[in-house]
Structure 1
Amino acid sequence: MTITRNETRDDTLLPGAAVIVGIRSLLIWAVVAGTMLAVFLRGSMSSCSGGVTGSGGFLDADGQPTDVTPMCGSITVSASPLVYAAIALIVLASLTRILGRADTVDAALRIINNARMVIVVLTLVTFVVGYWAIMTARVDDWSNYSLLYPFPFATFDISTHPMGANG
């Protein structure tokens, strides 16, 4: 049997090949989304609330001499591990849903496309919330501060130390 140019090769493909290609695409999107979050959603700020006088004494946040060592600190924001778990859960749930509910290839591809869009939206919302959280973080006094915690999208790593203790 010879195949002419007008014939298609669809009948020679593995049954369900379109679904396998869709699943591969979904996995690639999930890995890329997780990698982008790990690489690009990282921000930090650091400061010291006070300073040192010319004679070796300390200044507080208002510029007044003090005997108490001023506090320094840093904040680092990154994607929450819950976001990575949610991406994995979306992939697993969509595969389970395909096995349980999809009776046609079109239904399976629709489930895969919906899962892919949920991953994209979750990634974009995590980027926006994470960048908003670090951009709005302002600390004037490290001994008394408050931050708006962006749970469950991002997590803060906060460290404080007396001035001069860490460099």
Structure 2
Amino acid sequence: MTITQNETDENALLPGAEIVVGIRSLLVWAIVAATMLAVFLQGGMSSCSGGVTGSGGFLDATGRPTDVTPMCGSVTVSAHPLVYVAIGVIVLFSLTRILGRADTVACALGILHNARLVIVVLTLVTFVVGHWAISTLHVEDWNNYSLFAPVPFASFDISTRPMGATG
């Protein structure tokens, strides 16, 4: 059987289809990475540093009676918004780099592969740092506390209130 020119043209892929598939793959990886961070990188803790005596008074964090209302607080951690911005910048930078420097399909696919790899590494580092940050968080006294906030990877939302106050 011989193949004519018309049959070859009808079955041929769109020129640059490999690059379009690579770009689609990069976008899927970026969306999945951002979704995984939003869904699975969350944690929190809450506590009150003190308590109430049987007669209605207050106890401080060491268990001694006090006239000052003990503080309660809560902390939640999530991925820092800069991580999502970084994922978007990686996608845009790789597409810009393809337009400016890629002279072959193989070069363009290499740029897309490297961009996917950077997104995966950034996501994994963010998971590790975020989980480490929330697992090492221990607040003994909500009047005076400090925590290590890994700013480019995780962000904390801290709220304090006097014991008995709602909100």
Q: Fold match, TM over 0.5?
A: yes
Alpha-carbon shift at residue 20 of structure 1 (Å): 0.2
For 1:126, the equivalent position in structure 2 comes to: 126
CA pair 153-8 structure 1, distance change in 2 beyond 3 A:
farther
One-letter code aligned to 1:30? A
Task: Name 2:165's counterpart in structure 1.
Answer: 165
- What secondary structure is seen at the aligned counterpart in 2 of 1:123? helix
DSSP-derived class of the 1:148 partner = coil
Alpha-carbon distance between aligned partners in 2 of 1:10 and 1:96, rounded to the nearest angstrom: 31
User: CA 1:141/1:94 → structure 2, altered by over 3 Å: closer, same or farther?
Assistant: same
What pairs up with 1:24-103 in 2 under 5 angstroms? 24-103=24-103
How many residues matched?
A: 165
Give the 3-state SS of the residue equivalent to 1:54 in structure 2: coil
Relative to structure 1, the CA distance from residue 13 to residue 155 in structure 2 (aligned partners, 3 Å threshold; closer, same or farther) is: same
Q: Which residue of 2 aligns with 1:140?
A: 140
Change (3 A) 1:23 1:139: same
Give the root-mean-square deviation of aligned CA atoms.
2.1
Provide structure 1 residue ranges, at least 5 long, that are not aligned to the other structure: none
> Quick check: 1:107 aligned with 2:113?
no
Cα distance in 2 for residues equivalent to 1:101 and 1:35: 30
Q: How big is the shift at 1:11?
A: 6.3
After superposition, the Cα gap between the structure-2 partners of 1:68 and 1:9, relative to the gap in structure 1 and judged at 3 Å, is: farther
Shift of 1:90: 0.1
Query: After the TM superposition, which segments of 4 or more aligned residues of structure 1 sit over 6 Å from their partners?
Result: 7-11
Identity of aligned residues (%): 77
Cα distance, 1:2 vs. partner? 7.0
1:50-93 CA-to-partner distances (Å, cap 9, x unmatched) read: 00011111000010011100000000000000000000000000
Report the AA paired with residue 126 of structure 1.
Answer: T
1:22 aligns with 2:22: yes
Q: What is the letter of the counterpart of residue 31 of structure 1?
A: I
Deviation at 1:37, TM superposition (A): 0.3
* Equivalent residue number for residue 151 of structure 1: 151
Instruction: Tell me the distance in 2 between the aligned counterparts of 1:2 and 1:152.
Output: 61
* Post-superposition offset of 1:32: 0.3
| Cα displacement (A) at 1:149 | 1.2
Kindly tell me: are residues 48 and 16 of structure 1, through their superposed partners in 2, closer, same or farther at Cα, counting changes over 3 Å?
same
Please give the secondary structure, in 1, of the residue aligned with 2:27.
Answer: helix
Secondary structure of residue in 2 paired with 1:160 = strand
TM-score by length of 1: 0.94
Give the Cα–Cα distance (whole angstroms) in 2 for the partners of residues 40 and 8 of structure 1. 48
